[in-house]
Structure 1
Amino acid sequence: MDLLGPVEIRNLAKKLDLRPTKKLGQNFVIDGGTVRRIVRVAEVTTDDVVIEVGPGLGSLTLALLQAAGHVVAVEIDPVLAAQLPETVATRDLGAKLTVVGMDAMKLSASDLLGYSPTALVANLPYNVSVPVLLHLLESLPSLQKGLVMVQAEVADRLAAGPGSKVYGVPSVKAAWYADVRRAGPVGRSVFWPVPNVDSGLVSLIRRDPPETTATREQVFAVIDAAFAQRRKTLRAALSSWAGSPSRAEEFLRTAGVDPSARGEQLDITSFTRIAEAAA
């Protein structure tokens, strides 16, 4: 299939008088091998409706359209959102594409024109990658799997397990929704403009959250409090959330968690038990 290479990307950018901005996280993939690899690792099939956030000039979109049943592309930049159907139409794939021109952080299932995406595959804007990912996992329960490209450090955090130095809020909150793992590195040279950071792929497989009588909001409040002061014990870190150190200790002991432990030692199930003890 005819994908977009460096020449095509630059020609499109010139046509649109496009100057990629850091604000929108615009670094476009210019390497066909990379987008083919992403689609392959994501295991996209014709049974999948794929949601792609930030399709940009369409590098990954074209590869996804070849493999998926349908692609819903969410693009905040109105110029890029208008150009994408034209780029796709020249390759006779327009019937498989729906473009939604809006901020992905405001997206809900009702904005997808009747489509229920089963897979998220995207080169996420690096400045908002974690909030966008968590928002989509919460807002689109039809999502069963995902493969996202993010900054390498963020990929490490998302996939980290308890005890890791980079384990934190993104790690635990992502684990509420899915099994998360690193799926490989991506070099800087496959982008235009070339970013100042390395990139990585993160794979997600949806699973049910831990069984609990606490709400997601209650569990996430515990997570936020536990990591707001990483060096403190949970008894101290959760004191404001609980109302006092003694109340925090009471909730922790009820949950079967050592009050002298730290947040980075707990998995999502432990945070769920703490929230439930306080509910």
Structure 2
Amino acid sequence: MPDDRLLGPSDVRELAAALRLRPTKQRGQNFVIDANTVRRIARAADVGPADAVLEIGPGLGSLTLALLARAGHLTAVEIDDVLAAALPATVAARLPERVDRFALVHADALRLTADALPGPPPDALVANLPYNVAVPVLLHMLATFPSIRRALVMVQAEVADRLAAAPGSRSYGVPSVKAAWYAEARRAGSIGRTVFWPAPNVDSGLVALTRRDPPRTTASRVEVFAVVDAAFAQRRKTLRAALAGWAGSPAAAEAACAAAGVDPRLRGEALSVDAFARLAEARPR
């Protein structure tokens, strides 16, 4: 895609100035200003003409343009009033031949419902997620849109490590387990600070997720996530102690571990999502 179709540093600043926009930390507004970076993300997302893509937080449209140039259809979800109003004009000016493949939804991604999206159900999610809500937004998208088969998200490097962490690793925690309920996650690259305006105080990372079936269990997702939250609320304690409140007592927690085939002397960081599902099944009723 030619550079004159994408947004460079001067384009981003000119758009922001015309909109009298000052990026806010509250909404995690750090706009990508490097054309090579958005091309790289679009390639890594493996977006093609057969894909209906859902983009969260398009901002001024840097990544939007790179994705729309490749996708069969793109729906962008933007919460900011000014940005949502301006984005369609940017798309029309830069990619007029693709306007009929683009839709804008002005909404809070955390409250987005499946019936709020125009066009075909999304099969791919691509997003530069605000650091303060990255994990909740990702989990909400995976829960709300089962049609999403794969995702590529750009998040704070530390969050990327957590999402892709394996049991037993230092970064493994609640985001790791809950993401694993929906998908296999892996680190897909690193992004430096200088490709953003304004530059954040942290590095970013790409995480690729591929949808898979959740563990086979009679417990609901809500029940499994409840035991995950309990285990990591006191992550330095053994499961016997950490799950006492969840199970009703330390003895009941130990009994649940025994029924699930889990050593009660372990900590939550040692358990896979499948083990948490077995624990949820074994909770005393």
TM-score w.r.t. structure 1 length? 0.99
AA partner of residue 36 (structure 1): R
Residue 137 (1) aligns with residue 142 (2): yes
CA distance in 1, matches of 2:24, 2:247: 42
Residue 79 (1) aligns with residue 82 (2): yes
Residue 210 (structure 2) aligns with: 205
CA distance in 2, matches of 1:54, 1:82: 13
CA distance in 1, matches of 2:48, 2:281: 39
Residue 10 (1) aligns with residue 10 (2): no
CA distance in 2, matches of 1:115, 1:21: 32
**1:149-172 deviation per Cα after TM superposition (whole angstroms, max 9, x unaligned):** 000000000000001111000000
**1:211-234 deviation per Cα after TM superposition (whole angstroms, max 9, x unaligned):** 000000000000000000011000
CA distance in 2, matches of 1:40, 1:266: 34
Q: 1:113 deviation in Å?
A: 2.1
| Secondary structure of 1:196's aligned partner | coil
Residue 117 (structure 1) aligns with: 122
Residue 241 (structure 2) aligns with: 236
Residue 185 (1) aligns with residue 190 (2): yes
Q: 1:115 deviation in Å?
A: 2.8
Residue 54 (structure 1) aligns with: 57
Superposition pairs of residues 1-279 of structure 1, within 5 angstroms: 1=2, 2-90=5-93, 91-92=95-96, 93-278=98-283
| Secondary structure of 1:100's aligned partner | strand
AA partner of residue 264 (structure 1): E
Q: Could you tell me the percent identity over the aligned residues?
A: 66
AA partner of residue 55 (structure 1): P
CA distance in 1, matches of 2:17, 2:45: 31
CA distance in 2, matches of 1:71, 1:25: 22
Mind listing any 5+ residue stretches in structure 1 that lack a counterpart?
A: none
AA partner of residue 272 (structure 1): A
CA distance in 1, matches of 2:139, 2:274: 18
| Secondary structure of 1:121's aligned partner | strand
Residues 203-212 or 106-115, more deviating: 106-115
Mind listing any 5+ residue stretches in structure 2 that lack a counterpart?
A: none
Q: 1:114 deviation in Å?
A: 4.3
Q: 1:277 deviation in Å?
A: 1.0
TM-score w.r.t. structure 2 length? 0.97
Q: 1:47 deviation in Å?
A: 0.8
AA partner of residue 69 (structure 2): Q
| Secondary structure of 1:127's aligned partner | coil
CA distance in 1, matches of 2:253, 2:113: 36
Aligned residues: 279
CA distance in 2, matches of 1:115, 1:30: 30
CA distance in 1, matches of 2:256, 2:80: 47
CA distance in 2, matches of 1:226, 1:180: 21
| Secondary structure of 1:126's aligned partner | coil
